Homo-oligomer: A and B are copies of this chain.
Amino acid sequence: MGYLIDNLQYANWSEKVFRQMREGGVDAVHVTITYHETFREMVLQLEAWNRRFEQFPDLIMRGTTAADVAKAQATGRTAIFFGFQNPSPIEDDIGLIEIVHQLGVRFMQLTYNNQSLLATGCYENYDAGLTRFGKQAIAEMNRVGLVVDMSHSGDRSTLEAIDTSSRPVAITHANPNWWHPALRNFDDDVVKPLVARGGMMGFSVYPHHLKDGSACTLESFCEMVAEAASRYGAENLGIGTDLCQDQPDSIVEWMRVGRWSKAMDYGEGSADAPGFPPMPSWFGDNRDFGNIRAGLDAVGMSAAEIDGIMGDNWFRFYDKNFGPDQS
C-alpha cells in the first residue's frame, strides 16, 4: 500500500473530522475552500485553515507539494490541499492566479454549474466553450502549476480545456454517465481525451452521482470503477468522494444559489428533497476508505491497480502538476 488520498471533500471541519482522517489513515485530502467567494472572502477561508493548522499540528498540515503527502504520512498527519470549485476568487484579474498559487491553492474549477468568466457550467442550456479570459487563464494556470478542474463544467468547455491546456486536466469528483446519467457525470467522449492527455478522474460517492443514489451498493460502485479502469486505464483514476460531512442544509443552498439567484435552485436535489442526501451505508466518513479498498478487491482488481486508485495515482499527478512545468 502506498498513499491514501481523497481528492475532494467539503466537510464542516472540526477536530472530530481530522481525527477520523487519522483513524482512516488518510494521507492527504484536497479540500474545497470556496464556491462563490470573492478573493477577499477566499482569504478569510485561508485564514481559518491557518488557524486549524496552528490548533491541530499533530493531526493536519498544510500541503502544497507531493512531498508534503509523504511528509504527512511519515509524521502521522493528513496533508490538506486547497482548491476552488469556481474561479470567483480570481475575479477578473489574471494576476490573481499566481497569487492564489503562492497562497497554496492547487486546483481551480473553471465553472461551478453556471457560466463563469472562463467557461460554461454543466447546468447551462448552451455551452459556448472557453471564453477569451478562459484561454488566457488556462495558460497562466499551466505556467504556475494550478490544476484545471472541470468537474462542474459543460462538455464542450471541458473538451476545449483539455485541448487548450498544455498540462493535464482533472475531473476531481464525478462518475461516468454510462453507469449513472447525470448532468454532473461524464461521457466516454470526454473522459477518453482527458486521460489521453495525462488527466485524472476522481470518483465521487456523493449520492446524486451514484446509481440508485443513497441506496447505491458498494459492489455496484466498485464494478463501475473496474469497468472504468478497463475503458480509461486504472492509472488515470482516483477517488474524490465529495464528502460534505456534518454540513447543515444551508450550505448546500449556498453551493447551489450563492448570490446569483433570488429564487431557489435545487441543483441535483428537488423541492421534496432540498437538503444533503444521506450518504451510502458503506461510506459515511474518513474511516470508511477500507470499505472501498475491500470492494475493489472483491470485484477482482489487482493490488497495484487498487493502490493507484486509492492514492498513488493522485500522488503522481500532484508531483507532476503542482509547480512550474519541468518537462
B102 engages A47 (CB within 8 Å):
no
Query: Is A75 an interface residue, CB under 8 A from the partner?
Result: no
A189 located at the interface, meaning its Cβ lies under 8 Å from any Cβ of chain B in the complex: no
Beta-carbon contacts of A15-55 to B below 8 Å, as 1s and 0s?
00000000000000000000000011001101110110000
- Chain B residue with Cβ nearest A103: B102
Residue A95 lies at the interface, judged by CB distance under 8 Å to chain B: yes
Does A99 lie at the interface of the complex (its beta carbon under 8 Å from any beta carbon of B)? yes
Min CB–CB distance A88 → chain B (angstroms): 14
Contact B95–A47 (Cβ < 8 Å): yes
Known: A39-B43, A40-B39. A99 touches B103 (CB 8 A): yes
Contact A96 B43 (CB under 8 A): yes
Instruction: Assess the B104–A46 pair: CB atoms within 8 A.
Output: no
Question: Within 8 Å of chain B (Cβ to Cβ): is A98?
Answer: yes
CB distance from A144 to the nearest CB of B (A): 9
Q: Which of A74-132 contact B (CB under 8 A)?
A: 93, 95-96, 98-99, 102-104
Across-interface contacts of A99 in B (CB, < 8 A)? 43, 46-47, 50, 103
| A interface secondary structure, majority | helix
**Assembled-state Cα–Cα distance A6/B40 (Å):** 32
In the complex the two chains form, what is the Cα distance from A96 to B46 in whole Å? 9
Contact: A98 with B50, CB < 8 Å?
yes
> Is the interface on chain A under 10, 10 to 19, 20 to 34, or 35 or more residues?
10 to 19
Query: Cβ of A50: which chain B residues have Cβ within 8 Å of it?
Result: 95, 98-99
Question: Whose C-beta in chain B lies nearest to the C-beta of A43?
Answer: B99
* Distance to closest chain B CB from A42 (angstroms): 11
Instruction: Knowing A39-B43, A40-B40 are in contact, say whether A104-B103 is a contact too (CB < 8 A).
Output: no
Q: How far is the CB of A106 from chain B (nearest CB, A)?
A: 14
C-alpha spacing A102/B49, complex, angstroms: 13
CB distance from A55 to the nearest CB of B (A): 13
How distant is the Cα of A47 from the Cα of B93 in the complex, in angstroms? 10
Closest Cβ neighbor of A98 among chain B residues? B50
Q: Can you list 19 residue pairs at the A/B interface with Cβ under 8 Å?
A: A39-B40, A40-B40, A43-B96, A43-B99, A44-B95, A46-B99, A47-B95, A47-B96, A47-B98, A47-B99, A48-B95, A50-B95, A50-B98, A50-B99, A99-B103, A102-B102, A102-B103, A102-B104, A103-B103
Closest 7 CB pairs of A and B: A47-B95, A50-B98, A43-B99, A102-B103, A40-B40, A46-B99, A47-B99
**Distance in angstroms between the alpha carbons of A43 and B102 in the assembled complex:** 11
How far apart are A326's CB and chain B's nearest CB, in angstroms? 16
A44, B40: Cα distance in complex, Å:
13
- Other CB < 8 Å A-B pairs besides A48-B95, A50-B95, 14 of them? A39-B40, A39-B43, A40-B40, A43-B96, A46-B99, A47-B93, A47-B95, A47-B98, A50-B98, A50-B99, A51-B95, A102-B102, A102-B104, A103-B103
With both beta carbons as reference points, the residue of chain B lying nearest to A51 in the complex is identified as B95
* Cβ contacts under 8 Å, A39 to chain B: 40, 43
Closest to A38 in B: B40
